[in-house]
Amino acid sequence: MSIAWGSLGLVAIVSFAAAIVVTALVSFGIVGLAARAPRADGPEPALSPGAGTAVAAVCLTVAVLIVLYGLYLIVA
């Protein structure tokens, strides 16, 4: 039995990068959704409610597509 260390390393790097990307996308999506909430005190949000919703929709959609593609690769 032999282990293809190069392939194992590549899988580890890609899975680590995918985890970071999906986490960042979900975080940006939550920040975009938070822009919709009115603030009682403090500064104005950096995004308008419409822009926040658009950012959230794009980020969360891309995160879901990445996860579904990963599941497709596992099942296929």
Q: What is the pLDDT of residue 1?
A: 85
Neighbour-count burial of 52, counting CB atoms closer than 10 A to its CB (0-12 exposed, 13-18 middle, 19+ buried):
buried
Is residue 59 within 8 Å of 25, Cβ to Cβ? yes
> How is the chain split into domains, by residue range?
5-75
Q: State pLDDT tens for residues 11-48.
A: 999 999 999 999 999 999 999 998 887 777 767 777 78
What is the reported pTM? 0.80
